[in-house]
Amino acid sequence: MRGLFVTFEGIDRSGKTTQARLLAEVLGDEALGVREPGGTPAGEHVRDLLKDAAIPLGAEAEALLFAAARAELVAGVIRPALEEGRVVVSDRFLDSSLAYQGGARGLGVDEVERINRFATGGLVPDLTFLLEIDPAAAAERVGESDRFEDEGSSLQQAVLEAYERLVAADPGRWRRIDATRAPSEVHAQVMAAVDAARSGARA
């Protein structure tokens, strides 16, 4: 039986990493936690490059680097785990590229999606959580800085609006969660949705 592919999306410092970790920990050996970009030797090098604000990159280069790292992760890690029947929990996936480069950077969601369809072989998450928080509130949280956060709240607001359009286009896959609440409360809502999805898959 194919496993379940769960992803966490949202603006920077919305709590994605925390929630992805909590979910993977609760599911134990049944789950595999991954992050984007990263998860493979090539992906981790791409991650270092993309997070280094001292290295100038155009929007097109950003999109292609994310897609290259994603291609390695899908082929080498995600698909094999799903074929084993595991729950793959990913801190970001394709929707991040659609929101950041496709929407906020202005490359066009359709163009970025086309690139990533090639990179992932058309793999789409079964369940995606959008952790919603105002950019100003997110900026007050402690976290690691990178090229995207350094651009300030205007980019984050554009990303948030892009996510809204993605949810509207595919509402069945998305679950919106108020990320301003305590992590334990957010986790409880995540678990309820994942349990429901797993029950549906077994039915």
Q: Which CATH number belongs to the domain containing residue 123 in this structure?
A: 3.40.50.300
Q: What percent of the chain has pLDDT over 70?
A: 93
Q: Give the pLDDT band (50/70/90) at residue 199.
A: confident
What pLDDT is stored for residue 139 in this prediction? 83
Q: Give the pLDDT band (50/70/90) at residue 8.
A: very high
Higher confidence at residue 74 or residue 146?
74
Higher confidence at residue 151 or residue 69?
69
Dump pLDDT digits (tens) for 77-111.
999 999 999 999 999 999 999 999 999 999 999 99
What pLDDT is stored for residue 81 in this prediction? 98
Q: Check pLDDT > 70 for residue 1.
A: no
What pLDDT is stored for residue 24 in this prediction? 98
Dump pLDDT digits (tens) for 115-153.
999 999 999 999 999 999 998 888 887 666 666 756 668
Number of domains composing the chain = 1
CA separation for the pair 71, 140 (Å, rounded): 33
**Range of 85's domain?**
4-202
φ/ψ of 3, rounded to 5, equals -75, -170
CA separation for the pair 175, 131 (Å, rounded): 9
Mean pLDDT of 64-87: 98
What pLDDT is stored for residue 14 in this prediction? 95
Q: Check pLDDT > 90 for residue 58.
A: yes
CA separation for the pair 88, 33 (Å, rounded): 6
